[in-house]
Amino acid sequence: MTSGDNSGENDTEPTVYAIRLLRRAAADIDAARDYIFDVTGEAIARRWREGLYEALAKLTRFPQGYSVATEENARVNEVLASQGKPAVIIRQTVYRRPGSGRQGLTYKVFFVVKESDDSSGGGGGGDAPFVQVVHVRHAARDTFTNEDAASLAGDME
Amino acid sequence: MTLILNLPPEAEEQLKAAADAAGQDVNAYAVSVVLRGIQGDTQEAREATTAILAALEDAEAGDKGILLSDYVEQSRGRDRLRDAQDKRQQRRKAA
């Protein structure tokens, strides 16, 4: 699912990016899962998380095709520029459970595409290209409400 | 709508530098700046930015992250552990 191979032996094959979750991003997922568990129970929390894994696994192919997180990207780079650090491109994908049309059930995954391990971006997997997941957050609202939980449970039935 | 602005040279340079730093075309970046000015700061974007910067700092400090496949395996392992504990508790209650 998350092979770090560059598939360089065949130029016609698209590059397969490894997916790496930074410690804080993994903690984001754990916290979201725990919260959903608290309000909906184990089964739904697991299904939510498995769906998120599937969404993350899609980033192995053409991660550059995902949209730039315009506002966050601009803000992050303003700070990095002020610190004299190299720019990064923050991209995002949106994880919405199938059947849930409400924004309250939407999570954003922010990531950086690394074509190779470099000194400015922390570790990767040797020279293999990888996707560095930096943050996962519930979108559009500050908190996940009981109404969201009820809707999520309904979607998953 | 097309907006034509006469920017002072210094502001023009700042705009170009900021767009370049953000990895965006200068026009697209200018649009985002205007939108932010109109819409104001959003709490969500501020919080996301803070979290992203913290994660990037961790990476710079040596956080290599965990492969998704390893993370998935670990979390499923925790699930199996919880399941086993639940079953043990249920058996104790039944006994």
Structure ipTM: 0.76
Q: What digits encode the pLDDT tens for the residues B21-59?
A: 777 788 888 887 787 666 656 778 889 999 999 999 999
- Alpha-carbon distance of B14 to B31, in angstroms, equals 15
- Give the confidence band of A37 by pLDDT, cuts at 50, 70, 90: confident
Burial level of B27, CB count in 10 A (0-12/13-18/19+)? exposed
DSSP state of A12: T
| Predicted structure pTM score | 0.71
For Cα atoms B34, B37, B42, give the angle at the middle one, nearest 5 degrees: 120
pLDDT for the residue A141 = 46
When computed from its CA atoms, the radius of gyration of chain B, rounded to whole angstroms, is 25
Structure confidence at residue A122 (pLDDT): 43
Q: Which of A7, A23, A17 is nearest to A117 (CA)?
A: A17
Q: Which residue has the tokens 């065949």?
A: A10
Dist CA B25 CA B19 (whole Å): 6
Highest mean pLDDT among A31-40, A79-88, A111-120, B41-50: A79-88
CB A128 within 8 A of CB A6: yes
CA–CA separation, A111 vs B45, rounded Å?
15
Q: Are B49 and A76 in contact (CB under 8 A)?
A: yes
Residue ranges of A 44-73 with Cβ closer than 8 A to chain B:
46, 49, 53, 56-57, 68-73
Nearest CA of chain A to the CA of B6: how many Å?
Answer: 22
- Domains of chain A, start order: 18-155 (3.30.2310.20)
Phi/psi of residue A19, nearest 5 degrees: -110, 120
pLDDT recorded at residue A118 = 57
Residue A50 has pLDDT above 50, yes or no: yes
Q: Count other C-beta atoms under 10 Å from residue A10's C-beta.
A: 7
Residue B2 above 50 pLDDT? yes
On whether the CB atoms of residues A138 and A144 are closer than 8 A, the answer is yes
Nearest to A132 among B44, B59, B69 (CB): B59
Using the Cβ of A121 and the Cβ atoms of chain B, whether some distance falls under 8 Å is answered with yes
Q: Which residue has the higher pLDDT, A81 or A9?
A: A81
Q: Which of B15, B56, B79 to mutate to test the interface with A (most CBs of A within 10 A)?
A: B56
How far apart are alpha carbons B29 and A89 in whole angstroms?
13
Q: How confident is the model at residue A139 (pLDDT cuts 50, 70, 90)?
A: confident
Whether the predicted pLDDT of A75 surpasses 70: yes
* pLDDT band per the 50, 70, 90 thresholds, residue A125: very low
**Is B56 touching A (CB cutoff 8 A)?**
yes
CA dihedral A113, A117, A120, A123 (to 10 degrees): 100
